[in-house]
Amino acid sequence: MLRALAILLACAAVLPADSLIPPLDSKQAEVTRRAIAEFKANIRGPYLRIRWYCKDGSILPPQDNPCKDKGGGVQHAEMGPAARQLAAWNIHAGTILTGLPYEELLDAGHYHHRLKELVLEQYLIEVDQGWIYRKAVSYRGARQIEDEEQAGRDFLTRLLADPQWTARNYHLATQLVRVLPHGVADSTIQKARALAAVAAEQDPRFQNLRAKIHSHPGVEDLAAVQAFIKDKSPPADAVQTLQSLAALLRTQQDPARWIPRLQAIARQLKATPFPGLIAELETAFREGGRETALTRAADLTIAIRDTVTTANNGRRNLLLLDLNSMIQEKAFEMRRPPSVTSRRAMLAHWFEHVRLAAGAGLLSPRQLDAIEKEIAALTANKEMDAAAYRRSLRYLNRAVEWCRATVQRDFGPVAAHYLPAEPAAAGFTDSLVRGSAALPLANLIEVLATDADRQSGLRHSLFGQEASAGVAGLNPGIATGRFGILREGEESANVDPRSIYVIPQTASDLKPMAGILTLDSGNMLSHAQLLAANLGIPNATIPSTLLPDLEAMAGKEVFYAVTPKGVVVLKEKDALTAAERKLWAAQPAAARKRIQLDTSRLRLDDRQLRSLSNVSAADSGVVCGPKAANLGQLAGYFPDKVAAGLVVPFGIFHQHIDRDLDGSGRTLQAQITEMVGEAEKMRERNAEPAEINAYVYPRLAHFRKVIEAMPLLPAFEKEITARMDAMFGPDGSYGVFVRSDTNAEDLPEFTGAGLNLTLANQVGAKTILRALRAVWASPFTERAHDWRSRALIGTDKVYPSVIVMRAVPSDKSGVIATADLETGDPETITVNLSEGVSAVVDGGVAESILISPDGGVRLLQQCRATYRKTLGAKGGFLNLPPLGGDTLLDSAEIAQLRAMVADVKRKYPPARAANGAVLPWDIEFGFEKGALRLFQIRPLVRFQELATLAALASLESPNASVRVSLDATP
């Protein structure tokens, strides 16, 4: 499968993350699993009994109509005790709309969790034989369909009367209209996919056809299902399911089935422009051919979105979204272009599906505009060089990732919340994507992206097979080692640093390894990505569909390379030719030389607390780390943009550990030096990593425990408390970030990004001093030690200074790289940001843009965060729903960023790589009520071993002279 489809499949792996609601603990998950199983087996499902709910608030037994004299009422089931317990844990199984207050169902404080549960519940019903209603489907009176439809209509009408809400949540709105009862039939596409999945469970021989219906559905599926029933003699339960599937597919293929409904909607919209658009679509469908009909469908779905997101007529908006559902379903059937066509025609056809994806809410107007501009620039050419063609196709391929990110934002958290108790939730987001306009986007761009690679002479190769655009190189590098696969939740396992691993995501706590194949590329400026790029660890994305083939190679010795242009080569080591062995054995990437940590300038006798404004770059590696030194210099250049802070120098930490703290008769510093020396001896004799770890890890744990518990020297505790009162205010009136800053990070040869601890928004002197000790202890974690030991010699001389910095309540925050991370262009700025405090480096789908020298903005990714962090009054963070909006930065904020970067380049002493090249800067920033704030600056260290990069280029076989004609067939 190709990259685009791989992006869709990534949705199936629901990843745990911070959320607006607490996740289920292990006990809650077990109770929920048992309750769901009991609901499935119970003839009443999650319900206890039928009751009358009167308008005066009374609840009465179901005898005649006891609410008659109480203002009226409704009858429906009462939730059982188990269901009420699950609801307390935000698992609202069996929701009944009738009588449910609007605000309770809206659940705005949890970013509409309850609404999203309704969409998930419908999916589980379809794929799991009725789910919790498996036996309760005939429980009469549990739900009165007329009441439920009325409640659904009332809720949707009120919801869709708020165009601001609809504009921010358009994709969610389309899904709610699809699943909430309000008198309109459900989508047959989702039902067909669900029935195919059930049939495959009932008869595993149907699995291949099920996969075809999920990934590449077509008119031929009906005949295939009928042939399966006839030729395979499936079991009785599967026959019934397959017959239902065949009937549904037959209904789908009836060309006239949707015309009467279309005409009825047109009559209800007679006072609007829509009857004309509907008539054009109907005419195109009858007379104009598939391509014309697809264009008219796209025109109509975009017009619907424009109206629904600007008008406050809830009833009409509901009717329009019902129409939109019909159009999306019909267009899904028209997704395939003619079998022989030009690149230009394929791009035109693909762009209609882009517009349909926008009409479905999968793409924002901003994203649609970005793709339209790229298409226009591309198709303005009759022909172009292969490299430019490939760059353009790589950008267009982002549209599929953008669709996936929308679905994951809207429904990833609810699926993740259910997953510990309901494994079937794992397929939910994947189902939503595959049943939408995103599927033809993926399938069509696959062909063009593969064509672009082929024209450029680039070939991915995985174990002898030419791979597709589903594979993409991230970090260049070379590795040889044993091949392994880490499962979900295994990232913190005792991995072998000499091995090459497939991992489910680029984890924030990633341990060092020889090479990485990741199912999710993550953030280009995340700490894990920076570490991998820094050390030349090859890293590439792969589609999850390749996992079965890759699993067969587990345990074997392999050769793995990612070239500077992103070509990925993975083969068994035994398959290397003699010439290849000679070439790659000479490269240093697999066993990169470690550098000696420079401690010649350390002043451990300097124990003076300093304000940030009193340190500069000259103090780096002398009294404090480069983070504090660079930040102090930044404060000197931008005094109004850097918050107040105190710097605790190396010498104070050394003074505290150069004591006998554990009664051993030796100072802790002496014990650290002994441990590092012994570990170096073990490496010199090529000891196994497991043997080294068995010696090192228990000692690291001891050091951490002792440091975190040690008493602070009284004079120091008194001084820092007084300085904080003077700088920040009365105790408890402020929060600070307590940040580690060692002499072994932000070096030209090694970044060390994210290895040591930062404790956010610490409030109260006792809490801050406890945090100080925890930060001092953090360089002694296993992960920090492993990464440093891979790059540095002399790690017994690693000392943390600490920055105690006033917390800033940023409305949005992020990271700037003063270069284009893909091309290396130093005149372009890369910006990643999200809403809230400390928003990007912790992960998530951040806004990502390029700002060109003329101020132009190129969208790489729109923010799709599921929450935003704010500072808690008593410390820590509060997670709140995102505010939304199509863009995060306004023109004034972009102007501030450009001016700041220009000032940094003009004023700041450049950092250089080992080869003398000027390094771009990595700058953490935020905006507080429109004012720019700066939190950190450091060199952006990338892998710079030129001999290795030159050798890697030999794998690329570029075809730079090829000209690509857009009017030719790919």
Three-state SS string over 563-622 comes to: CCCCCEEEEEHHHCCHHHHHHHHCCCCCCCCCEECCCCCCCCCCCCCEEHHHCCHHHECC
For the chain, the average pLDDT equals 85
Ramachandran region of residue 845, left (φ > 0), alpha (ψ -120 to 50) or beta? beta
In whole angstroms, give the CA distance from residue 535 to residue 530: 9
In which residue are the tokens 């796209």 written?
298
* Amino acid 218: pLDDT: 62
In which residue are the tokens 């051919």 written?
289
Q: Where does residue 865 rank: exposed (0-12), middle (13-18), buried (19+ CB within 10 A)?
A: buried
What lies within 8 Å, CB to CB, of 290 at 6+ separation is 334
Which residues, in sequence order, are bridge partners of residue 541? 472, 518
Nearest to 20 by CA among 867, 869, 874: 867
In whole angstroms, give the CA distance from residue 627 to residue 623: 12
In whole angstroms, give the CA distance from residue 227 to residue 212: 15
Query: Residue 656: pLDDT above 80?
Result: yes
Query: Residue 568: pLDDT above 90?
Result: no
Compute the average pLDDT of residues 281-295. Answer: 83
- Report the percentage of the chain scoring pLDDT > 70: 86
In whole angstroms, give the CA distance from residue 155 to residue 102: 7
Query: Residue 710: pLDDT above 90?
Result: yes
Compute the average pLDDT of residues 939-957. Answer: 63
Three-state secondary structure call for residue 707: helix
* Amino acid 5: pLDDT: 28
Three-state secondary structure call for residue 536: coil
* Amino acid 62: pLDDT: 87
H/E stretch holding 682 reads helix 668-684
In whole angstroms, give the CA distance from residue 426 to residue 15: 9
In whole angstroms, give the CA distance from residue 134 to residue 43: 8
Tokens representing 424? 């079937």
* Amino acid 948: pLDDT: 60
DSSP category for residue 619 = G
> What angle do the packed helices 438-455 and 343-359 form, to 10 degrees?
150
Confidence of residue 196 (pLDDT cuts 50, 70, 90): confident
Three-state secondary structure call for residue 897: helix
Angle formed at CA 49 by CA 46 and CA 52, multiple of 5 degrees? 120
Q: Where does residue 520 rank: exposed (0-12), middle (13-18), buried (19+ CB within 10 A)?
A: middle
Q: Are the beta carbons of 786 and 822 closer than 8 angstroms? A: no
Confidence of residue 219 (pLDDT cuts 50, 70, 90): low
Query: Residue 579: pLDDT above 60?
Result: yes
Compute the average pLDDT of residues 347-362. Answer: 96
DSSP category for residue 94 = T
* Amino acid 450: pLDDT: 81
Query: Residue 107: pLDDT above 50?
Result: yes
Q: Are the beta carbons of 737 and 784 closer than 8 angstroms? A: no
Confidence of residue 551 (pLDDT cuts 50, 70, 90): confident
In whole angstroms, give the CA distance from residue 16 to residue 148: 33
Number of C-beta neighbours around residue 853 at 10 A: 11
In whole angstroms, give the CA distance from residue 322 to residue 883: 27
Query: Residue 950: pLDDT above 80?
Result: no
Query: Residue 668: pLDDT above 90?
Result: yes
pLDDT digits (tens, 9 = 90+) for 37-69: 999 999 999 999 999 999 999 999 988 889 988
Compute the average pLDDT of residues 907-915. Answer: 79
Query: Residue 295: pLDDT above 90?
Result: yes
In whole angstroms, give the CA distance from residue 963 to residue 455: 8
Nearest to 567 by CA among 529, 528, 537, 538: 538
Query: Residue 842: pLDDT above 60?
Result: no
* Amino acid 512: pLDDT: 72
The set of long-range contacts for 463-466, using a CB threshold of 8 Å and a minimum separation of 24, is 463/549, 463/553, 463/570, 463/571, 463/572, 464/571, 464/575
* Amino acid 185: pLDDT: 54
* Amino acid 909: pLDDT: 81
Secondary structure in 3-state letters for 488-518: CCCCCCCCCCCCEEEECCCCCCCCCCCEEEE
Confidence of residue 8 (pLDDT cuts 50, 70, 90): very low
In whole angstroms, give the CA distance from residue 363 to residue 171: 9
Nearest to 360 by CA among 134, 173, 552, 617: 173
The torsion angles phi and psi of 223, rounded to 5 degrees, stand at -65, -35
Compute the average pLDDT of residues 666-687. Answer: 92
In angstroms, how far is the first alpha carbon of the chain from the final one?
18
Nearest to 668 by CA among 651, 684, 655: 655
Q: Please tell me which residue, 482 or 896, carries the higher pLDDT value.
A: 896
Three-state secondary structure call for residue 7: helix
Number of C-beta neighbours around residue 808 at 10 A: 22
Query: Residue 741: pLDDT above 80?
Result: yes
H/E stretch holding 323 reads helix 314-332
Nearest to 509 by CA among 149, 262, 284, 784: 784
**Across 7-16, 194-203, 427-436, least confident range:** 7-16
Nearest to 737 by CA among 761, 765, 753: 761
* Amino acid 14: pLDDT: 33
In which residue are the tokens 């105190």 written?
646
Q: Please tell me which residue, 516 or 153, carries the higher pLDDT value.
A: 153
Strands 73-79 and 47-54: antiparallel
Q: Are the beta carbons of 301 and 328 closer than 8 angstroms? A: yes
Query: Residue 675: pLDDT above 90?
Result: yes
Number of C-beta neighbours around residue 622 at 10 A: 18
Task: State the maximum Cα–Cα separation within the chain, in Å, rounded to a whole number.
Answer: 94
Q: Are the beta carbons of 59 and 51 closer than 8 angstroms? A: yes
In whole angstroms, give the CA distance from residue 309 to residue 318: 12
In which residue are the tokens 């001999």 written?
947
* Amino acid 474: pLDDT: 75
* Amino acid 4: pLDDT: 33
Q: Please tell me which residue, 13 or 358, carries the higher pLDDT value.
A: 358
- What does pTM read for this prediction? 0.82
* Amino acid 667: pLDDT: 95
Q: Are the beta carbons of 755 and 674 closer than 8 angstroms? A: no
Chain centre to alpha carbon of residue 888: 18
Three-state secondary structure call for residue 74: strand
- List alpha helices for 360-437, DSSP H: 365-379, 386-396, 398-418, 428-434
* Amino acid 884: pLDDT: 81
Number of C-beta neighbours around residue 59 at 10 A: 12
What lies within 8 Å, CB to CB, of 947 at 6+ separation is 587, 588
Query: Residue 507: pLDDT above 60?
Result: no
Highest mean pLDDT among 16-25, 49-58, 502-511 belongs to: 49-58
Confidence of residue 577 (pLDDT cuts 50, 70, 90): confident
pLDDT digits (tens, 9 = 90+) for 756-789: 788 999 999 999 999 999 999 999 988 888 878 8
Query: Residue 377: pLDDT above 50?
Result: yes
* Amino acid 689: pLDDT: 81
Number of C-beta neighbours around residue 381 at 10 A: 16
In whole angstroms, give the CA distance from residue 830 to residue 853: 12
pLDDT digits (tens, 9 = 90+) for 246-280: 888 887 766 666 777 888 889 999 889 999 999 99
Query: Residue 887: pLDDT above 90?
Result: yes
What lies within 8 Å, CB to CB, of 593 at 6+ separation is none
* Amino acid 954: pLDDT: 66
